[in-house]
Structure 1
Amino acid sequence: MIDDVRALVPQVIGVLVRRGADFAMAEDAVQEALVEALRVWPADPPREPRAWLVTVAWRRFLDATRSDVARRRREEAVAEQEPEPGPVPGTDDTLQLYALCAHPSLSPSAAVALTLRAVGGLTTRQIAAAYLVPEATMAQRISRAKRTVAGVRLDRPGDVGVVLRVLYLVFNEGYSGDVDLAAEAIRLTRQLRAAVDHPEVAGLLALMLLHHARRGARTAPDGSLVPLARQDRSRWDRDMVTEGTGILQAALARDRLGEYQAQAAVAALHADAPTAEETDWVQVVEWYDELLRLTAGSPVVALNRAVAVGEADGPRAGLAALAAVPATVPRWTAVEAYLVEQDGDLPRATELYVQAAALAVDAAERDHLTRQAARLRAG
């Protein structure tokens, strides 16, 4: 039921903003309405959940407006607009609200936090726990973000590309604290797909599902990373793979290719291979070629392509492709270590794994690279 309630958040905020509430106060009022819904609905569910939330949130907004003496004039203007009870207009402001939270004036971290709060319906405490920062710090970040977009109206189409990048950032945070941000990103992207008919929205959802399907096999019982080639594929969520592949195929059939669809196509090729050895690496390279075109030569894409070239055409071809990628790209040395090992130069590979471990910022990745160096030393 919680997910069903939270799915209504952007629609309810949109209604309040259209009635004259500023974004910050509307978002606060909807949060209070959500708390009330979670308290009341289990025993007395409403027949029209959206209308119930709008009514309660609007009353909370009016209460907050009336309590502020400095806004007495605004209270009178807004109170006159209070509608008679009845059906709530069917306008769906989902995309506009997503775009507001992903506004270009916001930093990526602020955009993510505001999206989780205003669109996802998460509390400040939950978001702070997910990002491992104090609640007061996250509250300040969200407040600043709301002030930044306070004067932006929901009266024009949002930039789908910016919205998708914010959702992708949420997904890549994965899991921490008591909030599974990967699952939350999937939920929000499903919600956006229901509101927006755009093949890249479908492409991102497919990409998320195909990656998330492998989650259970990514770590060993001791918490260490398990590389894709060594994962137990029987532990992959095949229902999720099937859903992601189906969504991707429908998106590709529209012949409006974008980078998320291309990334999902690579993930689908991995998901389709019964074993790592049976992966169609030639096709993977072809999709990375498309991605390079779509991303104007992204160095990160070029790095991943070098790995695929090494699998398709041999490690020396992979190293040649790697040489064209700036060595400052994160994980460059780790890729070099892998390709050099595949080429048979184990002493050099050992040195490179040690260097790569020293450069790694993620503890799990650092431990994995250290173990790779130790494995070569012992072998």
Structure 2
Amino acid sequence: MTRLPLFSPHGFVVSRRMFGEPMFIRVGRELSLIAAGKSYAGGSEAALSDQKSQVTRNNHYVPQMYLRHWSTNGNTVLDYRLLVHYKGEETWKRSSIRSTCSWQDFYSQHLPDGIDDSVETYFSQRYETPAAPVFQKVEADASLSANEMRILVEYLVAQLFRTPSAMIRHTSLLRREFAPTAEAAVNRGVSALRLKGLGFAYPSADEGAVQAPFPNIPIHSRLDEERLEIVVSTSCGRQGFLASIGSILGGAVPRVLLSYPWVILKTPRGAELPTSDDPVVVFRVEAGDKVVIGGGMGVQYTNIMLPLDPRHVLFTEVGMDFYQLAALKMDRRLFDIMFEAIIKNAFLHVFSRSSIDDIGSYRPRRVDPERRGSLKNMIAKWDEVQWAIENDYL
């Protein structure tokens, strides 16, 4: 059986027959993506290789600063891997923090003057650097100012949308929403054509919705005169994902989450929480303390949390007021709920300061050498494949 990699570069095409004829949707894969010796916008492939050495290519989607709070030596962290080659693999391994939760060129962009790492730099300077001393104060049980709490919430928001898990969520949303959104845009264009006789104006993204240093949303639109169709297309992949981050961080989501009251909860004495490669957890608790991952961040009773270290959690519940949250204490029941939610929310890795003997009862490992190999191969070719896609949307 042929299996697709975790991030398969699909494209979406929406066509609308003009002049009142029925609309139809075509969804299909992108064309062949890799061409040997291809020349890129900034010059030859060889020239860009030289420029790559001057930029940050090993992009960490979970910062090293954050993971060190689960390390006992500052260099490695205990790692429970959810996708393994064979059943006999050691349950807990020590992984280098330098190479954990990292992805070569995950955030890189190809610009006319070479490869650009400004998104990685932006995350570091805008969120990680201000948050680092606040994390230290939390670990020391020091009191935080209102501004320091704001820094932690801003860090949480950025972390929520910058991971491979976030990319999967973005792709899923794009599959559901691109066709109706594009149809509405095309309908507006057709109405303008009928009413004003000005010809079709190519729909484009609202440039104000995406903030620097993130790229614009990759959208193509064209008029097929022979078939009398307006064709609008986009692609899944790095550029669209980065554009979505820029749109979110510059939009209403941070304002809404910052408007909620937040609290830092401390675990019961002697109890420690793990974290993961998708550390911000959005979840609901249903009857019988059943943990359900996901939920609307504007929907009452949705819980949002980020473990700050093994003993402290940044937490809010939508609908709770400041006084309710201030009175909240993490008893053993709430600890167990959070513990389960963190593990269930993990993408490929769970990290802990000490091994958890029964972790398999919360989340058993998947033994799949083919999928593991496919993932490794996809990451190795990531930049080459993504740039080939992006080159079509310049």
Above 0.5 in TM-score?
no
Larger Rg: 1
**TM-score, normalised with respect to structure 2:** 0.26
Kindly indicate whether structure 1 or structure 2 has the higher relative contact order, using CA contacts under 8 Å at least 6 residues apart.
2
Query: Higher strand fraction: Structure 1 or Structure 2?
Result: 2
**TM-score, normalised with respect to structure 1:** 0.27
